[in-house]
Amino acid sequence: MKIVVTDYAGVTHEIDAEADWPVMEALKAAGLPIKAECGGCCLCATCHVYIDEAWVPKVVVKSQDEEMTLSEAAELSDHSRLSCQIRMTPELDGLRLTLAPNF
Amino acid sequence: MTSEDVINTDVLIIGAGPVGLFAVFELGLLDLKCHVVDVLDKVGGQCSEFYPEKPIYDIPGLPVCTGQSLVDNLLQQIAPFEPVFHLGQLVSQVAEHPDGSWSVTTDEGLRFHAGVLVIAAGAGCFTPRRPPIPGIEGYEGKSIFYAVRKIEALRGKRLVIAGGGDSALDWTLNLHQVASRVTLVHRRPEFRAAPDSTRKMFELAEAGAIDFVLGECVGLDGSAGELAAVTVKTNDGALETIAADRFLPFYGLTMKLGPIAGWGLNLNENRIAVDTEKFETSVSTIFAVGDINVYPGKLKLILSGFHETALMAQQAFRYLRPNKKLLFQYTTTSTSLQKKFKAA
């Protein structure tokens, strides 16, 4: 499976992902500069991404926990998500997203 | 400061996470004494700070444990070796003596003299997260604080407090009677905090004793480090200016390599390069174990960190006891080791 990622500089990367893998792990494995400090515990918001509009309906809805953590992230948008909270499924093959600035 | 104030130890361990704690055990088996410094005010590192309640399944021999129970077990396991903890201390300076030993100073002024340093600092030191507001650096330490050290210093001030966790709420509740006015800013009406604190905050806001604004702090006004106002972008998009003398952002903790970056160690993408025989850094007698180190094939697992401490301890012994023979002993059969465990 693939994820299409736009980085801070606006460069697009097509990266590999596996089913049931958190998107955050796929970003890290591809060497993209996300911190993901808490290792997927939904605590730090350093794996913040923007999901491309067309893909928003296909992505699993946010938990209350994710809402809370996101509320302290910088540069929040309507399409903001924590990439550690989205697991890859066949429906997400080709998912497009943009990395949010870390702070 | 006189020489009596210096704490002498065989080994100074920097970082009290699981790997730093287990280093006490492996060094203790070789009769090496340890002091442990950590920037947090509790032991356990990320296990205690990030996932105290989350299950861990990959600790050998423990089918499942939580972050906190692992830390509690490790404390019990290393107790026979009597480690001394210095918490809430950031190691700031490291200087080498002519004999190759180390002088170490913390930001709170503690001084150590150690033969060997073991860096078990995980992803680095926990530091308060700085909100991305232009020019914020110029106010830090003067009118913007990430922790409250002296409540009296805030008496009569107009405060803006930001964040959605226990710290933001607790300080709102504690400071509203001291300050001339408290405004709490958070993006959501929900808080990740004790329900009782949340309820009390809303009661105060309803009674007009404090202000609660739904929004995000985006700008600062003031001069020469003295704050005059905080600009808040409210959730409906309007910009609101709140007159303020002090701003207290509580956006949780982030991790930075911190002062370690300046110690002259070879680094590789913010991690400390080590060999895989002794887990020693590019500087002799300074070791790095756990998530902070990097070597070919490195996996950031607690399991790997534990292994690294055992090999590190062998070399630390050779440095610290050059005239003694290193006797490899199993805890199952060594009577001298068993005496220590039974006595504890």
For B283-303, the pLDDT digits (tens) are: 999 999 999 999 999 999 999
Which are the contacts of A100, defined by CB distance < 8 A and separation ≥ 6? A48, A49, A50, A73, A74, A75, A80
* CB nearest to B51's CB, from A41, A75, A76: A41
Note whether B252 contacts A72, CB cutoff 8 Å: yes
**Left (φ > 0), alpha (ψ -120 to 50) or beta: where does A101 sit?**
beta
Partnered with residue B144 across adjacent β-strands are B140, B247
* Residue B3: partners with Cβ closer than 8 Å, 6 or more residues away: none
For residue A67, give the H/E element and its range: helix A64-70
Cα torsion A75, A76, A79, A82: sign: positive
pLDDT of B3 reads 54
Nearest residue to B11 via CA among B112, B122, B125, B124: B112
Q: Are the beta carbons of A37 and B190 separated by less than 8 Å?
A: no
Q: Rounded CA gap, A48 and A52, in Å?
A: 13
User: How many angstroms separate the CA atoms of A37 and A42, rounded?
Assistant: 10
Interface test with A, best of B48, B53, B54 (most A CBs within 10 A): B54
Q: Do B252 and A43 touch (CB under 8 A)?
A: yes
* B190–A contact, CB cutoff 8 A: yes
pLDDT tier for residue B336 given thresholds of 50, 70 and 90: confident
pLDDT digits (tens, 9 = 90+) for B97-149: 999 999 999 999 999 999 999 999 999 988 888 998 999 999 999 999 998 98
Q: What residue in B sits closest to A71 (Cα-Cα)?
A: B187
Comparing alpha-carbon positions, the chain A residue that sits nearest to B217 is A74
Q: How many CB atoms lie within 10 A of CB B119?
A: 27
Which among A43, A68, A75 has CB closest to B50? Answer: A43
| Res B135: pLDDT | 95
Residue A45 in tokens: 């918001």
Tell me what percent of the residues of chain B surpass a pLDDT of 70: 99
Q: Does B132 touch chain A (CB under 8 A)?
A: yes
pLDDT-based confidence at A102, cuts 50/70/90?
A: confident
User: Which tens digits make up the pLDDT trace of A21-70?
Assistant: 999 999 999 999 998 988 898 988 899 999 999 999 999 999 988 998 89
Residue B4 has what pLDDT? 60
Q: What is the mean pLDDT of residues B195-207?
A: 96
- Let me know: does B212 contact B184? Beta carbons within 8 Å: yes
Rounded to the nearest integer, the mean pLDDT of chain B is 94
Bridge-based pairing of strands B102-106 and A95-99 is unpaired
Q: What is the CA radius of gyration of chain B?
A: 24
Q: Which of residues 198-237 of B touch A (CB under 8 A)?
A: 216
Give the pTM. Answer: 0.84
Which three-class secondary structure state does DSSP give residue B320? helix
Which residue, among B241, B327, B252, B1, has the nearest Cα to A72 in the 3D structure?
A: B252
Q: Mark yes or no for CB contact B252/A67 under 8 Å.
A: no
Chain-chain contact of A71 with B186 (C-beta, under 8 angstroms): yes
**Residue B81 Cα, gap to closest chain A Cα (Å):** 31
ipTM: 0.76
Residue B106 has phi, psi (to 5 degrees) of -100, 165
Give SS3 for A98.
Answer: strand
Residues in chain B: 344
B132 vs A43, A71, A74: nearest CB: A74
Residue partners of B299: CB distance under 8 A and separation at least 6? none
Q: Which residues contact A89 (CB under 8 A, 6 or more apart)?
A: A19, A20
pLDDT in tens, B10-29: 999 999 999 999 999 999 99
| Average pLDDT, integer, range B73-81 | 97
As a whole number of angstroms, the distance between CA A73 and CA A70 comes to: 5
Distance of CA B64 to CAs A22, B46, B60, B70, B303, Å? 22, 17, 9, 9, 14
What pLDDT is attached to residue B1? 47
Q: Are A24 and B241 in contact (CB under 8 A)?
A: no
- A71 and B188 in contact by Cβ < 8 A? yes
Mean pLDDT computed over B302-314? 98
Closest partner CB to A37 (pick from B132, B192, B255):
B255
- Six-digit token pair at B32? 């090496």
Query: Cβ–Cβ of A103/B186 closer than 8 Å?
Result: no
> Is A38–B131 a contact, with Cβ atoms under 8 angstroms apart?
no
Mean local confidence (pLDDT), B57-78: 97
Which residues does B293 contact at the CB level (< 8 Å), separation at least 6?
Answer: B119, B271, B272, B273, B274, B279, B308
**Which residue among A46, A68, A103 sits closest to B164, beta carbon to beta carbon?**
A68
